[in-house]
Structure 1
């Protein structure tokens, strides 16, 4: 797995050279948009709202709308001046109990992998966190943005979860929910009985992305049976030439199948 960040993980006076790698991958099938009449690709251009003219990238600036059609323009140089200092150190500031963290704070997940020569220090922190049943809280600067993170032991490795700051969470006070509705003892008893009768140990392997699989199977079926009429960039739209794009489809499907192989092995294993 290719690291997306390299630096030091620090707690106290212990510094551990580590690499950050993704712990998740999004399972999605991406579609291109085509013109219905000839299946030519639909492209997007950035145009000015006032005259509809295309705007080159070097003529685009950042603006924050403070009132309708009134903007404060911020330059890249101004943003760089207040950007968090690029640091290659994840300094654990606090340790806390896992059950004290509201799950809503969690965002993206990664693994911290020890670099060469860092195995012992890495194992020391991993074991300490596991036996103390605590999570390390730190900050990391990635892509010129500062993130709050939680570091915890996960199946023999250290995982890092980026977290949302408190102001990024929407309070339930803003929802139209009335938790103080009067309930009878019988209603509550029956509801609890229903819930408790279905309690089981959480097993993520029993759940499948059914929609993804259905779309994937649809693509496989159509690719095997159909030829698609489309226009390439070098052909005029009126040509209406029918070409065999099975090779391109097969290459795309092969890529999808490669992603599916690990899951199939787990399922049959």
Structure 2
């Protein structure tokens, strides 16, 4: 894997040199814009409207629009001085329980390996987090973007998850038409809970696939081979409108699957967590 960042984790006066690697990868299929008439890929230019010409990268700087049409400009060196990235430090401020962090805060996961020195310090931090069952909350700056981060263990590796600052999370009060006083039919609620129970089990990520990506890859291969692209057959649609009837039909649909499998033991879903133990 390609090293994205080199620095150190600090907690108290302990310094742990680390290298950072992306833990995830984007599997989206990249498409380019093509001119239909001649099948030529389109290119994009950086053009200045005032000078009416293309602008080279060395002529470009960054600016903030504080009023319409008015900007304050910053050179790269000025922004670097403001960024904590120059410290190359993941500074742990607190240790908390993972369940205290709402999933809405999580952004992207990175793996951290020991640096060229400090393997003992890395192992010490890893084992300490494991045995205490805590998650470190740290500050970090990557590519001039400052964020909070959660330091945890994934399969015997220290991992860092960047997380949003509280003021970056929008309030649910901005969401329109949320019910204030829900009036739920007890029988419908019971059936809905029964349906949830029938569909419940341990989290098994390998059973989930990106159906759209698979279909698109197949369509690409068909086009390369000069074949007609075949659309997937449409799923049968139900005309169930009544909520109670929909719940009943849903329960009937999952019954064969549920009856053919042993009931998941209580707490079984916890064993596959990639969190600290």
TM-score range relative to shorter protein: 0.7 to 0.9
Aligned Cα root-mean-square deviation (Å): 2.2
Structure 2: gaps (5+ residues)? 228-277
Q: Distance in 1 between matches of 2:136 and 2:11?
A: 9
* 1:134 matched residue in structure 2: 134
TM-score by length of 1: 0.75
Deviations for 1:134-178, whole angstroms, at most 9, x for unmatched residues?
101111222223221111011111111111111111111110112
How far did residue 37 of structure 1 move?
A: 0.9
Whole-Å Cα distance in 1 between the matches of residues 8 and 55 of structure 2? 42
| CA spacing shift, 1:156–1:99, aligned 2, 3 Å | same
Alpha-carbon distance between aligned partners in 1 of 2:8 and 2:69, rounded to the nearest angstrom: 44
Q: Which residue of 2 aligns with 1:248?
A: none
Deviation of the 1:47 alpha carbon: 2.7
SS of residue paired to 2:39: coil
Q: What TM-score results when the alignment is normalised by the length of structure 2? A: 0.73
CA shift for structure 1 position 208? 0.5
The answer for the alignment partner of 1:188 in structure 2 is: 189
Residue 16 (1) aligns with residue 20 (2): no
Answering whether residue 209 of structure 2 is matched by residue 208 of structure 1, we say yes
Shift of 1:212: 1.1
Deviations 1:24-62 (A, max 9, x none): 001011112111011112111223446854344444444
1:65 and 1:96, CA in 2 relative to 1: closer, same or farther beyond 3 A?
same
Distance 2:8 2:58 in 1: 36
Q: 2:234 is matched with which residue?
A: none
Pair 1:89 & 2:89 matched: yes
Kept in 2, the 8 Å contact 1:63–1:71? The answer is no
Q: Is 1:108 aligned to 2:114, yes or no?
A: no
Give the SS at the match of 2:17: strand
**Unmatched 5+ stretches in structure 1:** 227-269
Question: Mean alpha-carbon deviation: is it higher for 149-158 or for 123-132?
Answer: 123-132
Q: Is the 8 A contact 2:85 2:142 kept in 1?
A: no
Distance in 2 of aligned mates of 1:98 and 1:151: 10
Map 1:234-253 to 2 at 5 A. Answer: none
Where does residue 73 of structure 1 map in the other structure? 72
